[in-house]
Amino acid sequence: MANCPQCAAELASDDPAGLCPRCLIQGAFDGSTAGEQAGTQTIVTAESIGDDDFGRYQIIRPIGEGGMGTVYLAEQREPIRRRVALKVVKLGMDTSQVLARFANERQALAMMEHPNIARIFDAGATGKGRPYFVMEYIEGVPITKYCDDKRLTIVQRLELFLAVCRAVQHAHHKGVIHRDLKPSNVLVTEQEGTPVPKVIDFGIAKATDQWAVEKTLLTQFGQMVGTPEYASPEQAEVMTGELDETSDVYSLGVLLYELLIGVVPFDGATIRQAGLAEMLRIIREEDAPPLPRKLTNTGEAAAGIATRRQTDVASLRRLVDGDLNWIAMKALEKPRERRYASVADLAADIQRYIEHRPVLASPPSALYRARKFVRRRRPAVLATAAVIVSAALTAWSLTHRETASSPRLTDKDTIVLADFENKTGDPVFDDTLRQGLSVELGQSPFLSLISDTKVLQQLALMGQPKDARLTPDIAQQICERTSSAAVLEGSITSLGSQYVLGLRAKNCNTGAILDQEQAMAP
Query: For residue 65, which phi and psi values (nearest 5 degrees)?
Result: -150, 140
Asked if residue 331 lies in contact with residue 232, where contact means CB atoms within 8 angstroms, the answer is no
- Residue 20's H or E segment, with its range, is none
How many angstroms separate the CA atoms of 326 and 359, rounded?
A: 9
Q: Going edge to edge, which strands form the sheet with 69-76?
A: 57-65, 69-76, 82-89, 131-136, 120-125
Q: Hey, which residues does 504 pair with through a beta bridge?
A: 489, 516
Supply the DSSP symbol for 154. H
- Other C-beta atoms lying within 10 Å of the C-beta of residue 366: 17
Cα–chain center distance at 415: 37
**Catalytic-labelled residue, pool 180, 321, 323, 345:** 180
How many angstroms separate the CA atoms of 518 and 498, rounded?
A: 13
Report the first-to-last Cα separation within the chain, whole angstroms: 66
Supply the DSSP symbol for 520. E
Q: Hey, which residues does 86 pair with through a beta bridge?
A: 72, 134
How many angstroms separate the CA atoms of 68 and 98, rounded?
A: 7
Between strands 131-136 and 120-125, the pairing is antiparallel
User: Is 180 among the residues known to form the active site?
Assistant: yes
* Identity of the residue numbered 482: T
How many angstroms separate the CA atoms of 40 and 161, rounded?
A: 25
How many angstroms separate the CA atoms of 195 and 187, rounded?
A: 10
- Catalytic annotation, residues: 180
